[in-house]
A and B are shown apart, each in its own frame.
Chain A
Amino acid sequence: MSSNAAARRSQPVLADAFAGSLLRDAALVIGFALMVGILAQVVIPLPFTPVPVTGQTFGVLVGGLALGWRRALAGMAVYALAGLAGVPWFAQGHGGWQALYLPSFGYILGFVVAASLLGELAERRLDRSPLTTLAAMAAGSVVIYLFGVTWLAATLHVSLLKGIQLGVLPFLIGDAIKSLLAAGLLPGAWRLVGRNH
């Protein structure tokens, strides 16, 4: 009974539209981590805030929606663990165990949870229409900020309000743009793939 309900609830995601098996899953997971690592190097520093704008958030959220929660969780775990192991693909070329001391490491933890959450939402077909995609992107951004600001405030020993000023407010407009972009991208991709899934 419960498995039937789960099977009914778990819908295919965009990545399932392509034939393949475990090898495809492995490629998707590695590719997801690689894509986020590359997007992390796209840095736009803002003069009025210590946290720069990167392309990571967009890649994480869209990748989570496209891959489903299992592959998204695996991909982001690979990204975080490989970065901690020394791959310099965190933002601005950071990597290694010392990244745990970075005030921005909370964002990376948020990526893991947010990508999984959005993958789950995609398996509930929330990526099929622009409006639900917008809602999913907003939920994912909230999760990332929850982790990022908490970690930022804890490591810098500043108040949460100050952490929000440093790590949230400057990025809201950019997040809105990314969400709008994703709201057009994912339903459009579904139209290309076909809605028979």
Chain B
Amino acid sequence: MRRRPAAWLPLLLLAFAPLLLGATPTPPPTPVPTPIPPSPVLNISPTSGPPGTKVTVTGSNFPANQPVPIYIDSPERQLGVAKSDAAGNLAQAIVVIPNGIPEGSHVICGAAGVQPACGQFQAQPAPTPTPTAVPTPTPTAVPSPTPTETPSASPSATPVAGSGSSGGGGLLGSLFRFPFILFPLLLLLALAAAIFLIVRSRRTPPGRLPPTVVTHRGVGPAGNPYNRPGTPGARLGGTGQSARPGSPLTPGSELPPAGDAAAGTGLETASGASGGVPPGTEPTDAVPPGSVPAGSREPGSAGRSAGPAGNSPVPDPAAQPPTGPDQADLAAPPPPPDENQGPGRPAAGGGGGQEPGGPLRPFQGDRASSGDIWTPPGGRRAAGSGYDEPPDLPEPGD
């Protein structure tokens, strides 16, 4: 599938980027080839205090211009990130001993080399708020927190902010140096690709139609396999089947696809787009005459058209022999133009040449070529034999 690589591409890049990162231990910043680099040294001050103590961290012999994460006891318990200068010295970074740290000996480390440099820190119990509890802890605990905090108070308040803004380029510079910027961009790319694919998967492909069940509304004999409802590709050929004039359908020929066949050829989809008349039902019984669409039934036939309503919008006269005088009229040559009819008036116009009070005259134009169907004025049609009900004709002078 074509859309998968587009989405997996950022993931693949994401997958290989850390490997590349891990494969390059310390490539660029080694202009001076020192065979054995001196081990980094980390100094902390003060070396003891309760949780909340601000500790100043300095160091040297670190890789130049590198972010140095400062953590306590384990890399996961990170306190902040310092940044080494061009000489590998660690500028003063201030970290805060976190609350909840147990009393005892801890190590504060900076990890920017092969081995992290660490310094010992003795955590003392937190000072209790009540003054009566002073005798229980060690007496040195009380004076130590406040005096040591004040001298070490520097403009860089929080360790993270100080480390992030240290260095000329600041945050942007570090983002563009390290492959760090690569990962947010890849994440953005992955997110965009995922959203795009989710939205795209919600849309139906344009060339694919939902499956439809085609029901053939034929009036053929029961058991005719061609008239079974829901048989795709059913063939015409049963009794009462008719083909649309001009269509390539002939008795025994294959039906067009469902999308074409549902367009008024007597085939209905499962959604009931063309009616709801059960197969084999005479449609004139179920559909009111006024609601029969024009062209669905042939006027002048003896109440028995070649197919049900909607089955043959324009029956083929050649395929069906005339069954009555009306049909004979259909086959007769057209009469001379009526005097009431204007010169440019089409012969198929509804009521155009109708004489008031006279008998209904069926359409006499070129039906096959025009594709038009005669309808009486007012849209009413005769049911049954075709002319049981005289249509409402316009009054003279209308």
Contacts and interface: CB of A to CB of B under 8 A. Distances in A.
B18 A98 contact: no
B395 interface: no
A156 B75 contact: yes
A22 B198 contact: yes
Interface in B175-209: 175, 178, 180, 183-184, 187-188, 190-191, 193-195, 197-199, 201-202, 205
Contacts of A94: 78
B135 to A, nearest CB: 32
Contacts of B184: 81, 84, 100
Interface stretch (A57-65, A68-76, A127-135, A178-186): A68-76
Nearest to A73: B194
A83 B325 CA distance: 87
A97 B67 contact: no
Contacts of B74: 49-51
B75 A103 contact: yes
A92 B198 contact: no
A25 interface: yes
Contact of B18 (A51, A151, A158): A151
Q: Which of A100, A103, A116 has the most CB of B within 10 A?
A: A100
A70 B326 CA distance: 67
Looking at chain A, what size class is its interface with the partner chain?
35 or more
Interface stretch (B108-116, B260-268, B300-308, B355-363): B108-116
Given A113-B11, A155-B111, A77 B198 contact: no
A147 interface: yes
B160 A96 contact: yes
Chain B's interface: helix, strand, loop or mixed, by majority? helix
A5 B4 CA distance: 13
Contact of A74 (B81, B116, B198, B202): B198
Contacts of A196: none
A97 B164 contact: yes
A81 B1 contact: no
Given A80-B187, A96-B160, A157 B114 contact: yes
Given A50-B74, A77-B187, A150 B175 contact: no
A151 B164 contact: no
B173 to A, nearest CB: 12
Given A21-B202, A51-B76, A74 B194 contact: yes
Contacts of A150: 18-19, 21-22
A156 B1 contact: no
B185 to A, nearest CB: 10
Given A73-B194, A97-B171, A97-B175, A52 B18 contact: no
Contact of B191 (A3, A74, A92, A113): A74
B345 interface: no
Nearest to B98: A92
A71 B201 CA distance: 11
Contacts of A22: 198-199, 202
B249 interface: no
A100 B194 CA distance: 23
Contact of B11 (A71, A101, A112): A112
Q: Which of B21, B76, B163, B180 has the most CB of A within 10 A?
A: B76
Nearest to B18: A150
A138 interface: no
Nearest to B116: A156
A87 interface: no
Contacts of A155: 69, 75, 111
A101 B68 CA distance: 9
Interface in B158-172: 160, 163-164, 171
B25 interface: yes
Given A6-B1, A22-B198, A156-B116, A109 B180 contact: no
Interface string B24-38: 011000000000000
A147 B11 contact: no
Contact of A78 (B7, B113, B191): B191
Interface string B4-15: 100110010011
A116 to B, nearest CB: 6
Interface in A148-165: 150-158, 160
A103 B81 CA distance: 11
Contacts of A100: 178, 180, 183-184
Interface string A4-17: 01100000000000
Interface of A: 2-3, 5-6, 21-22, 25, 49-52, 69-71, 73-74, 77-78, 80-81, 84, 91-92, 94, 96-98, 100-104, 106, 109, 112-113, 116, 146-147, 150-158, 160, 166
16 contacts: A2-B1, A2-B2, A50-B74, A51-B76, A52-B76, A74-B198, A78-B191, A97-B171, A102-B69, A103-B111, A147-B15, A150-B21, A151-B18, A155-B69, A156-B116, A157-B114
Interface of B: 1-2, 4, 7-8, 11, 14-15, 18-19, 21-22, 25-26, 67, 69, 71, 73-78, 81, 111-116, 160, 163-164, 171, 175, 178, 180, 183-184, 187-188, 190-191, 193-195, 197-199, 201-202, 205
Given A2-B1, A112-B187, 12 more contacts: A3-B1, A6-B4, A49-B74, A77-B194, A101-B81, A103-B78, A104-B76, A109-B183, A116-B11, A151-B18, A157-B112, A158-B115
Which A-B residue pairs are the 3 nearest by beta carbons?
A50-B74, A77-B191, A74-B194
